[in-house]
């Protein structure tokens, strides 16, 4: 071991050399500017071109609100589980699919028997209950197999297990129900539209939006007002302290998964009634998008996930026309997923605590 005489830092260690701007900073700023350019330039371009009428913009907006409601419902599952366990329930999208896919068979039978048409509310309730039940069962199995064994371990193991679970679930359902795309039933009453200020609005849209809002309100009341909800919030704040207060964290964790799965069960059915189809891979993309919504709203933050869902839905629905059409990209609708993914990456990179600024994620990112 030599003395420190020869370790004196060179005199070049001055202010400028320590503070130099790296190419990383340049690329990141370039990214920000490029995004801004696309958004601003595209918007101006589109508005100048005037390709779209007010009715069309309203259409985009309402569709965004509709699909955003679905994302919000699924996002709640991600955000609550993250709040409690600090892990991404990677299989949540596929859990959503299991409910919606199972409920498809009930919906189809009810539709064929004419019950879906004659008793809409009763039938829809039954379909959603089945979906919620199946989602809950799948979620609890995933929790038991993939998360519980790793509960006291800070590593990527549960995430990797969840990735495995995601594919196992998809391909179990593919094996059981086949790999063709099934068409969700389309009852007569759902085909209608009603007229507000001269604009036609498909009836499915308000149905989805209000069902989603009602479910979210229900969830909010449970989390805020019930004893179990209080326990959830306590565990989310500090699991050890909550355990000291006599809260059984195991029950709270199970309850969280059940709540998340129920929201996903409703969200999945609504998603299928909007797009009118389901297959074994149906859950994956909405799953990623709902996760993006949860991150947008600040993961761990329940109102954040709701707002993030609607925000993502609207951006995704209006984005292709508003940003991409304006800069002259052909067939911008093919790039709808691109907007969601870009938003996801940008938020994870530049603002991992989300737009609403929950601090929880700071440690992680």
Per DSSP, 186 falls in state: -
Q: How far is the CB of 169 from another protein (least distance, A)?
A: 8
Q: How far is the CB of 176 from another protein (least distance, A)?
A: 5
Query: Cα(67)–Cα(117) distance, rounded to whole angstroms?
Result: 23
Q: How far is the CB of 168 from another protein (least distance, A)?
A: 3
Give the residue with the Cβ less far from another protein, 196 or 331: 331
Q: How far is the CB of 201 from another protein (least distance, A)?
A: 30
Q: Please give the distance of CA 257 from its chain centroid, rounded to a whole number.
A: 15
Q: How far is the CB of 343 from another protein (least distance, A)?
A: 9
Closest CA to 294 of 236, 337, 225, 340: 340
Query: Cα(301)–Cα(103) distance, rounded to whole angstroms?
Result: 29
Give the residue with the Cβ less far from another protein, 271 or 291: 291
Please enumerate, as own/partner, the contacts of 343-347 that have beta carbons within 8 Å and a separation of 24 or more.
Answer: 343/292, 343/296, 343/312, 343/315, 344/288, 344/289, 344/291, 344/292, 344/295, 346/31, 346/35, 347/292, 347/295, 347/296
List, in sequence order, the alpha helices (H) in 119-203. Answer: 120-142, 157-177, 188-191
Q: Classify 305 as helix, strand or coil.
A: helix
Give the residue with the Cβ less far from another protein, 313 or 332: 332
Look at the chain and count its residues.
Answer: 365
Per DSSP, 156 falls in state: S
Give the residue with the Cβ less far from another protein, 53 or 155: 155
Q: How far is the CB of 277 from another protein (least distance, A)?
A: 17
Residues that bind another protein (CB under 8 A): 1, 3-5, 7-9, 13-15, 18-19, 22, 24, 27-28, 31, 87-88, 105, 145-146, 149-150, 152-153, 155-157, 159-161, 163-172, 174-179, 288, 291-292, 329-332, 334-335, 337-338, 341-342, 344-345, 348-349, 352, 359, 361, 364-365
Cα torsion at 119, 120, 123, 126 (round to 10°)? -130
Give the residue with the Cβ less far from another protein, 308 or 332: 332
Give the residue with the Cβ less far from another protein, 174 or 233: 174
| Helix 227-237 vs helix 54-85: crossing angle, to nearest 10 | 80
Give the residue with the Cβ less far from another protein, 19 or 227: 19
Q: How far is the CB of 72 from another protein (least distance, A)?
A: 18
């Amino acid at each position: 071991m030599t003395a420190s005489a020869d370790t004196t830092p060179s005199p070049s260690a001055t202010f400028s050399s320590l503070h130099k701007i790296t190419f990383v900073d340049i690329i990141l700023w370039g990214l920000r500017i490029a995004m801004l350019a696309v958004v601003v330039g595209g918007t101006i371009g589109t508005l100048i071109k005037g390709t779209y009428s007010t009715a069309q913009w309203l259409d985009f907006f309402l569709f965004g609100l509709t699909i955003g409601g679905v994302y919000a419902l699924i996002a709640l599952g991600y955000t609550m589980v993250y709040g409690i366990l600090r892990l991404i329930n990677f299989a949540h999208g596929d859990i959503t699919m299991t409910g919606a896919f199972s409920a498809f068979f009930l919906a189809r039978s009810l539709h064929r028997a004419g019950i879906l048409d004659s008793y809409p509310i009763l039938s829809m309730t039954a379909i959603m209950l089945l979906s919620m039940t199946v989602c809950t069962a799948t979620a609890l199995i995933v929790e038991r197999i993939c998360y519980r064994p790793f509960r006291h371990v800070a590593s990527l193991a549960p995430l990797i297990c969840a990735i495995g679970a995601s594919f196992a679930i998809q391909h179990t359902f593919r094996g059981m129900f086949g790999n063709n795309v099934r068409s969700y039933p389309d009852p007569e009453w759902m085909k209608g539209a009603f007229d507000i200020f001269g604009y036609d609005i498909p009836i499915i849209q308000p149905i989805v939006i209000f069902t989603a809002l009602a479910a979210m309100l229900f969830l909010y009341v449970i989390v805020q007002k019930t004893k179990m909800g209080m326990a959830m919030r306590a565990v989310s704040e500090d699991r050890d302290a909550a355990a000291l207060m006599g809260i059984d964290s195991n029950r709270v964790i199970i309850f969280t998964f059940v709540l998340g799965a129920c929201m996903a069960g409703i969200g999945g059915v609504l998603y299928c009634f909007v797009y009118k189809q389901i297959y074994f891979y149906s859950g994956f993309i909405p799953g990623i998008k709902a996760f993006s919504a949860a991150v947008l709203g600040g993961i761990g933050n329940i109102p954040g996930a709701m707002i993030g869902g609607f925000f993502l839905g609207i951006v995704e629905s209006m984005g292709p026309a508003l940003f991409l059409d304006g800069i002259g990209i052909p067939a911008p609708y093919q790039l709808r997923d691109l907007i969601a993914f870009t938003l996801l990456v940008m938020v994870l990179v530049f603002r991992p605590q989300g737009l609403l600024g929950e601090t929880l994620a700071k440690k992680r990112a």
